Amino acid sequence: MMMRRVLLAVMLLAVTMLAMAKPKPTQYGRGKGKVYIFGVSQELTDSVVYITFINEIDSLDLMKRTKFLPFRSEFSLQLKEYMEGTLKKSHQTTCVFYSNKRKKLSKKYYKVKKRYLDNPYTKIMPIESFQFRHPLDSFVNENVE
């Protein structure tokens, strides 16, 4: 009888501790840091390359172990939809570059830009009016309306 009470108390304690355990944050939540990002868009059969300026995204952290950007595909999709919708450019291949340090990303920006400037057959067109936005912001706005 005494053994049953002890076993019941231990099981009750274990269940209580599991219930009060803090859940792990997911990669889809908002972060506390800043990430800098720019994008490149190009149609593979065209000689014009479109490049955005470096944007700062608040409330976003890189993944801890892999240093990957969460929502990478969503950021690339934002640029692709902008190119198709606003500039009427279809069949664009888009790519985003990111870093949590602006200086590091600036070096990458000029390296990518120089690669296209060195080629006499390509022309670089800056995209001034495009701004990346946090994917959760657009998700919240769609669900509110």
Record the tokens describing residue 88, joined without a space.
């009427």
Per-residue confidence of the chain (145 residues) as pLDDT tens digits? 777 777 777 777 776 766 666 544 444 456 778 999 999 999 989 899 999 999 999 888 888 889 898 888 999 999 999 999 999 999 999 999 999 999 999 999 999 999 999 999 999 999 999 999 988 876 555 544 5
CA distance 122 to 130: 21
CA distance 27 to 42: 29
CA distance 111 to 129: 22
CA distance 36 to 49: 20
Q: Which residue in this structure is represented by tokens 């509110």?
A: 144
CA distance 71 to 96: 11
Closest to 41 measured CA to CA, from 1, 5, 81? 81
Query: Which is it for the CA torsion 41, 101, 75, 63, positive or negative?
Result: positive
Give the predicted TM-score (pTM) of the model. Answer: 0.72
